[in-house]
């Protein structure tokens, strides 16, 4: 049996600091390998120490450049940083299109930075189903900060709040739909707003709009902070990291944060149950059963109920 299939050996290698086996375990979790699930089970007691930061927002906001700058700032502060870059899936391979090769290359030679791309594989909300599990692996592997950069599909990014301790929503002036995106739900997930490319015209207007909306209150306690940045030259990045670190210091160990983490774990279980049931349902769905639906002899709802009963028994 190879170490890739031996959960105990794989977990031991990850805890021992092996970057190669950390990447192998994350790939195994994304592929649903049994050995990877066993390794995660063994690693899970060592989790709960890392602070997870989600970076989301509209396409074209410069999230990858900003994430590069965030990593550099955290490294200067002595933190080890694990990065999960969520990419669209290739329709041919199911793998991440952009991949690790073109993401975060400034940190390729830094042993204190781990970067891994995950494909969404059609999962709604912009986050790979394996994201939460991968974040646990990086936590157990000793990374102090886990940074999740999402695909960037606008308001559907709300899933990030259920994976991250702190969520940074990145916007840029001049796209024309910033405030509509906020009103559509992004306000509900933001802990910090970052107006990137703030050297553009109308940046001050967007900052004022965000601060006015923030004062109206989001869905999760204190009004989100608003930070300006020009990530390409590092402007505003230290202030953004200061905001994130202040939130981490204020929230860690509080009852409210305990409730939030409990909600995240509950959501993670539900998402995993749904994913496993979907895989089994697709395996059970035969052409003959589907033919009956195509002939209009039975409804999709009826066939679905039959599959659920076959998987779970009568409800």
Q: Which domains does the chain have, with CATH numbers?
A: 1-46 (no CATH), 48-252 (3.40.50.300), 262-312 (no CATH)
pLDDT of residue 156: 45
pLDDT of 160 above 90: no
Residue 282's pLDDT band (boundaries 50, 70, 90)? confident
Q: What is the mean pLDDT of residues 280-293?
A: 86
Residue 176's pLDDT band (boundaries 50, 70, 90)? low
Percent of the chain at pLDDT > 70 equals 80
pLDDT of 310 above 50: yes
Three-state DSSP class for residue 129: coil
Range among 116-120, 128-132, 202-206 rated most confident: 202-206
Residue 178's pLDDT band (boundaries 50, 70, 90)? low
pLDDT of residue 137: 98
pLDDT of residue 182: 59
Say how far apart CA 219 and CA 160 lie, in whole Å: 15
pLDDT of residue 155: 42
pLDDT of residue 125: 41
pLDDT of 166 above 90: yes
Which residue in the block uniquely carries the two structure tokens 């830094």?
A: 110
Closest CA to 81 of 159, 150, 160, 145: 145
Residue 220's pLDDT band (boundaries 50, 70, 90)? low
Query: Average pLDDT of the chain?
Result: 84
pTM over 0.75: yes
Exposure b/e, 252-289, CB count within 10 A at least 16 = b = eeeeeeeebeeebeeebeebeeeeeeeeeeeeeeeeee
Closest CA to 172 of 61, 253, 67, 84: 61
The answer to whether 122 and 129 are in contact (CB under 8 A) is: no
Better-scored residue on pLDDT, 62 or 160: 62
The answer to whether 240 and 72 are in contact (CB under 8 A) is: no
Sign, CA dihedral 262-151-113-95, equals: positive
Say how far apart CA 125 and CA 158 lie, in whole Å: 6
């Amino acid at each position: 049996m190879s170490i890739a299939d031996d959960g105990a050996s794989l977990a031991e290698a990850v805890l021992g600091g092996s970057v190669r086996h950390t990447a192998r375990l994350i790939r195994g979790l994304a592929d649903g390998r049994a050995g990877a699930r066993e390794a995660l089970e063994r690693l899970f007691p060592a989790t709960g120490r890392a602070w997870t930061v989600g970076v989301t927002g509209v396409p074209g906001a410069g999230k990858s450049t900003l994430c590069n700058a965030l990593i550099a700032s955290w490294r200067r502060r002595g933190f080890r940083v694990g990065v999960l870059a969520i990419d669209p899936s290739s329709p041919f391979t199911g793998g991440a299109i952009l991949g690790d090769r073109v993401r975060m290359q400034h940190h390729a030679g830094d042993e204190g930075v781990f970067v891994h791309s995950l494909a969404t594989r059609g999962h709604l909300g912009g986050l790979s189903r394996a994201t939460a599990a991968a974040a646990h692996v990086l936590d157990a592997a000793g990374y102090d900060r886990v940074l999740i950069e999402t695909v960037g599909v606008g308001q559907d990014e709300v899933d990030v709040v259920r994976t991250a301790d702190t969520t940074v929503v990145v916007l840029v002036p001049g796209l024309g739909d910033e405030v509509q995106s906020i009103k559509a739900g992004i306000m509900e997930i933001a802990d910090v707003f970052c107006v990137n490319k703030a050297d553009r015209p109308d940046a001050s207007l967007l900052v004022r709009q965000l601060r006015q909306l923030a004062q109206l209150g989001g869905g999760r306690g204190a009004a989100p902070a608003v930070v300006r940045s020009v990530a390409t030259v590092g402007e505003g990045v230290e202030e953004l990291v200061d905001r994130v670190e202040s939130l981490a210091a204020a929230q860690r160990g509080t009852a409210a944060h305990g409730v939030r983490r409990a909600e995240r774990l509950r959501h993670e279980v539900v998402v995993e149950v749904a994913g496993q049931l979907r895989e089994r349902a697709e395996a059970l769905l035969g052409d003959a059963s589907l033919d009956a639906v195509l002939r209009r002899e039975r409804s999709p709802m009826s066939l679905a109920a039959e599959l659920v009963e076959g998987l779970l028994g009568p409800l």
